[in-house]
Each structure stands twice: as structure tokens, then as C-alpha cells.
């Protein structure tokens, strides 16, 4: 019983997942601090009120704190924008730059204009011979 549990825990994907969770939590703290310290005050400077938690309406004695929802929504949008512009855009740009120097994986068949593997000697779609392919 313990041997199976030990094998499960020592699998690479479980260790990778644990590391990802820890790094994700740390990254979440950094992004939250960035939003709280820089972006939320910027929203307050532009719109005049960075905290909407005091907004409330009452129906039959029940208080609806819709300002808390507005705060959460603004926080979500700011965090999503920060992650997109600070992580996703630079990583996509880096991947694009890395891929630019590599040989293409596919080519276009001159007969049927289908996309085929770069090393193909015969088109899989129309059967035409590909003269530019290197012999195997």
C-alpha cells in the first residue's frame, strides 16, 4: 500500500504539478500586489474612486452590496490584463522569434495547394511527385 503511494508521489507529473502550484501561488501574489499597488490607484486617479465596496441598495430590509461585486470584477479584469500583457504577449513574441530561425515543417503542394510535410516526396492529397524533396 505504501509502495504504491510512494510510486504515485514520485512520478514526474505529480512533482511537476506540485511545483506549478507553488510557483502559481507565488506568481498570483506578485500579480495581486502589482494590481493593488499600481493599477487600482491608477483607476482611482482616472475615475476618482478606486473602492466601490460602499455601494449598496436595500430592498425590503435586505442590503445588496453590489459594490463588492464591482470591486471583484475590476480586480479580475486588471489581473487578467496584467497577466496578458506581462506574461502572454512577451512569451508569444519569444516563441515567434525562436520559430523564425527554424526550417518550415510544412510546404504547399504546387499542384493542389494542400499543406504537406516538408520532406514529402509525394503529395498525400493529389499524389503528385514533389521534386524539391531530398531523397531518403
Per-residue pLDDT tens for 46-81?
877 767 778 899 999 999 998 888 888 888 888 888
Q: Report pLDDT for 59.
A: 94
Global pTM reads 0.52
Is 12 contained in some domain?
Answer: yes
Containing structural domain, residue 27 = 1-50
Q: Is residue 61 part of a domain?
A: no
Nearest-angstrom CA–CA distance, 53 and 66: 8
Give pLDDT, residue 37.
83
Judge contact between 29 and 64, C-beta under 8 A.
Answer: no
- Does 60 fall in a domain? no
Q: Give CA–CA dist 83/77, Å, rounded.
A: 10
Whole-number average pLDDT of the chain: 82
What is the Cα–Cα distance from 104 to 120, expressed in whole angstroms? 13
- Say which CATH number the domain at 32 has: 1.10.1200.120
Q: Is the pLDDT of residue 88 over 70?
A: yes
Position 58 scores a pLDDT of 94
**For residues 18-45, average pLDDT:** 82
Amino acid at each position: 500500500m505504501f509502495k504504491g503511494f510512494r510510486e504515485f508521489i514520485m512520478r514526474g507529473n505529480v512533482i511537476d504539478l506540485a511545483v506549478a502550484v507553488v510557483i502559481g501561488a507565488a506568481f498570483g501574489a506578485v500579480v495581486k500586489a502589482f494590481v493593488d499597488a499600481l493599477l487600482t490607484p491608477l483607476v482611482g486617479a482616472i475615475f476618482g474612486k478606486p473602492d466601490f465596496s460602499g455601494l449598496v441598495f436595500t430592498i425590503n430590509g435586505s442590503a445588496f452590496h453590489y459594490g463588492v461585486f464591482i470591486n471583484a470584477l475590476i480586480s479580475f479584469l486588471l489581473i487578467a490584463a496584467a497577466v496578458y500583457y506581462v506574461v502572454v504577449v512577451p512569451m508569444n513574441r519569444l516563441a515567434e522569434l525562436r520559430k523564425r530561425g527554424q526550417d518550415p515543417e510544412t510546404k504547399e503542394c504546387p499542384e493542389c495547394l494542400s499543406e504537406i510535410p516538408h520532406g514529402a516526396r509525394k503529395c498525400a492529397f493529389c499524389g503528385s511527385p514533389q521534386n524539391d524533396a531530398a531523397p531518403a
